[in-house]
Every structure is written in C-alpha cells, then in structure tokens.
Amino acid sequence: MSRTRVTSRRPVFWMVVVASLALATALVAQQRQRDDDRPPGLPRDPVPDATMINTHEIAGVRVVTVARDLSHPWGMAFLPDGDMLITERAGRLRMLRDGVLDPEPVSGVPTVLSQGLAGLMDVALHPDFAENRLVYLSYTRPVTEREGTVALVRGRLDGMALREVEDVFVAEPWGGSTAAARIAFAPDGLLYMTGGGAFGTNPDESRAQDPSSHAGKILRLRDDGSVPPDNPFVGRDGYKPEIFSLGHRNQQGLAFHPATATPLATEHAVQGGDELNVIQPGGNYGWPVVSYGRQYTGERVTGRFWADGMVEPLVFWVPSIAPSGLAFYTGDRFPEWQGNLFVGSMMTGRIGRTGHIERIVFNENGEELAREWLLTELRQRIRDVKQGPDGLL
C-alpha cells in the first residue's frame, strides 16, 4: 500500500485512522456538549502524520498515517495489488488506491441498519478473488425500521462498483442488531463468521447457549453460504447447522494460526473477562455460565470461572481491553515479531482514549509468554489489525 512512500529503512506501521465528520451544525453542538460533560483528564490529541516508537524488541519503529477522513472504519482487506477496501459502519465501502482514499464510496452496498453498534462491519475477499473478483461483507440487515439481523452479502467488484450483489446468509432469529460479525476465509476455502449480540447474563435465557439461535456463535459456511456437511451439529435436532462453536458473548476478532490453520477469536465480556479463544469444532465457551467478568455495576457475572464441558480461554484480560481485530505476523519486515499475535484494543478498564495494540508472544506449545502494549500514545480505538502484502502492519 503506497509503497512509494516508504522512505525509511526502518520498519513501518501503516495506520488507517478515523476522523469523523459532522453532518450538521446541530450534531456538532450536541457532540461539544457531550465532550463538555466528560472528565477532562485524557487529552484528545490529533493523530500525527508520522512518528517513531520504541518497542521491547525493535527500536525505532516508524508509524505512518495513510488515510484520514473516515467515519468509524470497521474492517479492511488488501487487494492483490496492495490497494485496500475499508468499511465504514454507516454503510459505506471505501477504496484506498495508491495510498490515496477515493472520495466516493464503492457503489452497490446493500441498505444497512446503522444505529448504535449496528451497521456495515467486516470485509473479506474470496480466496480466488484474482479470478472471480468476489467481495464479502458482513452487515446489519434491516428487518423493521429499528430492528435488524446480521447478514452476509457478496458481490463482484467491478472498478468502483459491486455487481451481482446477493445475501448468502441471514442470521435467525432476527433481533441481534448490535451483534458484531467478523468474517474470514480459512486456508481450506471455508468462511468463518462470528455472530455476537448475546449480551444477556441469565444462563436459562441466554442466546449464546441456545442452539436454535445464531447469536453468540461462530459459524462455518461454504463460499455460497451453504452448510459444510462436516459441521459439528449437522443433523442434530434443535441445532442450527451453521454453528461451529457456541457460548460466545460478542466476538470482535477472527484469525487463523499460520501453522495449524486453527481459528482464534477475541470476545468482549463486560468489565474484565475479555477472551482470546482457540476455536474447537463443537466447543462451548461458557458465556454466561462461566466468566471472569463483572457487570457494569460491579458485581460478578457469575460465581464460576470454569466448568466441565466448557472451553477455557487461551488468554483473558482483567481489566478488559475491548479486544477487536487480530493478526498473526508472518512477514519479513519485523523478524523479531515472527509468529506473534497482534490484537486491537478499543479501551482499557472502561476508560476512554486508552485503546492500543497488544503484541502477544507464545511458546511452541501455544502458551502465552509475554504481552506488550503498542501505540498507547495515540489514544485511539483500534478496530482492526491486518498485515499487508508488503509485510507491514
């Protein structure tokens, strides 16, 4: 991406940074009033065009901002030529070409219910994109004026337009308009999709534990949205056949281990108890029966941290960091970081402007050895992390 701008021999972080645009004077006034009501401690500093940071294993890492004027960017995908598609939560698909953000969005995106956390979310390319030009988007599909459900749509990218657009999967029952939906293709060509929105804490009423609901699950699909015959619950009464794992709350990140192709997902708890999970077929990850988290009022979600038959997290966070997109580093620009996992964070301990990137180091058995916080000084909500074709993050 914008390879002509790499003028330093030092490693570089590429960053896509949100700079929200007010649409009306009234909205600006409302935002200023909200800002006036907030505690004044942490500053809202502008993001620099470029800066240098020192890290534990690499000194002098250059951080470069390559795009501004985005509104709530949620997901991104690199095209084979190094250009990038970026989703904006309000329902726009943007193109970053040769390091320049096209002022016009890509046309053909379906109507999106955009309210609160709902909207256009992730973007992924078909494994054979170079031949078929297929782009996949996860989004909140309107069902009524104020309610929606998570859906997966695909279309053929033709210049600055999506054509032959069709929904290939729609979550049921509808009503999970605030669900996160990260999507990613596995090395075997199957598509994994997170279905969040299981916020309830009563185990008897939890959608995360309800096998007849797509909410609180990780789903496994063919590229046309159909069900792979070896999914763990195919043919089992009362279970949605798309379900690959269950017992999740609201998953914001999804990636595959570069050596084993095993899926890993990050998951929001409430206060504390955010998780990084190694996803096993048919696994139950416990929400809300077991949790390390507390309610927003302070009391514990449950008195149990683990239970027989439920999978414990590989990593958990107390306090919470609101983990988001994640990526294993496999490039050659940062040899010291080979095999490390990079996880986006939107805030720490419920304190705004404390987002960052966490670098997690594992041993050969996949057990955690170390964590490092990066980009804390930018005070941004980091929504996604990707490795580019140039080996940069």
CA proximity to 239, closest of 276, 206, 212: 212
Q: Report how far apart, in Å, the C-alpha atoms of 75 and of each of 219, 262, 274 are.
A: 18, 21, 20
Question: What span, in angstroms and rounded, lies between the C-alpha atoms of 164 and 108?
Answer: 9
| Structure confidence at residue 25 (pLDDT) | 32
What is the tens place of the pLDDT at every residue in 25-56? 333 334 444 545 667 778 888 999 999 999 99
Residue whose tokens read 């330093």: 8
All residues at 6 or more sequence positions from 106 whose CB lies less than 8 Å from its CB, including other chains: 85, 92, 93, 94, 95, 157, 160, 161, 162
pLDDT class of 194 with cuts at 50, 70, 90: very high
What is the tens place of the pLDDT at every residue in 61-119? 999 999 999 999 999 999 999 999 999 999 999 999 999 999 999 999 999 999 988 99
For residue 131, give the H/E element and its range.
helix 129-132
Question: What span, in angstroms and rounded, lies between the C-alpha atoms of 111 and 125?
Answer: 20
Q: What is the pTM of this model?
A: 0.91
What is the tens place of the pLDDT at every residue in 219-256? 999 999 999 999 999 999 999 999 999 999 999 999 99
Return mean pLDDT, the chain: 91
What is the tens place of the pLDDT at every residue in 287-320? 999 999 999 999 999 999 999 999 999 999 999 9
How far the first Cα of the chain sits from its last, in Å, is 11
Six token digits for residue 208:
């995360």
DSSP at 309: T
Question: What span, in angstroms and rounded, lies between the C-alpha atoms of 191 and 124?
Answer: 9
Question: For residue 101, how far is the Cα from the chain centroid?
Answer: 21
Question: What span, in angstroms and rounded, lies between the C-alpha atoms of 108 and 128?
Answer: 21
Burial readout 239-259 (b: 16 or more C-beta within 10 A, e: otherwise): bbbbbbbbbbbbbbbbbbbee
| Structure confidence at residue 13 (pLDDT) | 65
pLDDT class of 157 with cuts at 50, 70, 90: very high
| Structure confidence at residue 39 (pLDDT) | 74
pLDDT class of 135 with cuts at 50, 70, 90: very high
